[in-house]
Amino acid sequence: MAVERTLSIIKPDATKRNLTGKINAKFEDAGLRIVAQKRIQLTPAQAGKFYEVHAERPFYGELCDFMASEPVVVQVLEGEGAIAKNREVMGATNPADAAPGTIRAEFAESVGENSVHGSDAPETAAQEIAFFFSGLELVG
Ligand code: DAT
Ligand code: MG
């Protein structure tokens, strides 16, 4: 399997509870390397642009407000099959369905406030990395 990069976000519910280090340990223990990382505060409009694919869903407004409610940590994870591996480490969207040991099983508060975002395919990973990081920030 090829070495890939994926975009990860540690969401406001997790940064607020000081869980950045515990979540990063889960990534590193799974063999994912954090090759870029920064803590930023999104505006609701920026969150809306990032999640524009969900614009028609009933929870969109709530999702944008939540993502702008506290700082987030945006990061690029790298490794063999990083996109699928990260989704595995994250667990299912709804923490009630997330496998034991996954980030969402251990830390998520609800389906909306579920601690982490991870890209779902190579195309979205490339778009989402470019949304947050410039080429200069992406040293190997
Ligand atoms: P994922 O984050 O697992 O890729 P998604 O892309 O379907 O899930 O949805 C994006 C985010 O939107 C998700 O992490 C939390 C929020 N969300 C999804 N379904 C929801 C629901 N039924 N109620 C409230 N928020 C929801
Ligand atoms: Mg998604």
Kindly report whether the global pTM for this prediction surpasses the value 0.95.
Answer: yes
User: Any known ligand binding at 93?
Assistant: yes
Give pLDDT, residue 140. Answer: 67
Q: Catalytic: which of 5, 26, 85, 117?
A: 117
To test the pocket of ligand 1, the residue of 9, 56, 83, 93 to mutate (highest count of ligand atoms within 8 Å of its CB) is 93
Residue 139 has pLDDT above 90, yes or no: no
Q: Mapping DSSP to helix (H, G, I), strand (E, B) and coil, where does residue 62 land?
A: helix
Find the mean pLDDT for residues 41-64. 98
Atom 7, ligand 1: which residue's CA is nearest?
93
Exposure string of 75-90, with b = 16+ CB inside 10 Å and e = fewer, is bbbbbeebbebbbebb
Whole-complex ipTM? 0.98
Closest to 50 measured CA to CA, from 127, 113, 108, 120: 127
Show the domains of the chain with their CATH numbers. 3-41+72-137 (3.30.70.141)
Residue 110 has pLDDT above 90, yes or no: yes
Pocket of ligand 1 (CB under 6 A): 54, 59, 63, 93, 111-112, 114, 117, 120
Question: In this structure, which ligand is nearest to the CA of 98?
Answer: 1
Find the mean pLDDT for residues 47-72. 98
Is position 54 annotated as part of the catalytic site? Answer: no
User: Any known ligand binding at 107?
Assistant: no
Closest to 33 measured CA to CA, from 9, 69, 61, 6: 6
Confidence of residue 129 (pLDDT cuts 50, 70, 90): very high
